[in-house]
Structure 1
Amino acid sequence: MPTLRARLHHGARPGGITGYPLDRIYEEVAFIAYYLHWPHDEIMGMEHRDRRRWCEEISRINRSANADATSIADL
């Protein structure tokens, strides 16, 4: 199987976005995989919009959990 870089070079753009920065794709995939333990191929198969939405939702959950932890620490 060709590498992601090779697939991008030949015009196949994961997530449906032309010219999306490769570093950003890796960041999104790592973020989702770290928090949700989803497999690489499943995350890479997502549309860009869906991958970004999952990143936003994970971030929202983390902010809420951190705010709750801070509130408890203040008691």
Structure 2
Amino acid sequence: MTPPPEHLREEVAYLAYYLHWGLEDLLHMEHEVRRQYVREVARMNTRINRGSGYGWPG
């Protein structure tokens, strides 16, 4: 499954910003794998913003 171009740009920009991964690496990921990383980074950011630590499990 290929996401619409605007979604792909958003996913890649989000992960590149937070994880400092290169464009080629992000573009070569399967869409679902990339989405899993987006969800996990978002979850960690939510925990940080709520003041419950660094977002790490535990």
TM range (shorter): 0.7 to 0.9
Match of 1:61 in 2: 44
Is it true that 1:38 corresponds to 2:21 in the alignment? yes
The answer to which structure has the higher helix fraction is 1
* Cα offset, 1:22, TM superposition: 0.4
Give structure 1 regions of 4+ aligned residues with deviation exceeding 4 angstroms.
none
**Which is greater in Rg?**
1
Where structure 2 has 5 or more consecutive residues not aligned to the other structure, the ranges are 53-58
RMSD over equivalenced CA pairs, Å: 1.1
Q: State how many pairs are aligned.
A: 52
Where structure 1 has 5 or more consecutive residues not aligned to the other structure, the ranges are 1-16, 70-75
Percent identical among aligned pairs is: 40
Question: Could you tell me which amino acid in structure 2 is paired with residue 21 of structure 1?
Answer: P
After TM superposition, the score normalised by the length of structure 1 is: 0.66
After TM superposition, the score normalised by the length of structure 2 is: 0.85
Match of 1:26 in 2: 9
The higher-RCO structure (CA 8 Å, 6+ apart) is 1
* Cα offset, 1:64, TM superposition: 0.1
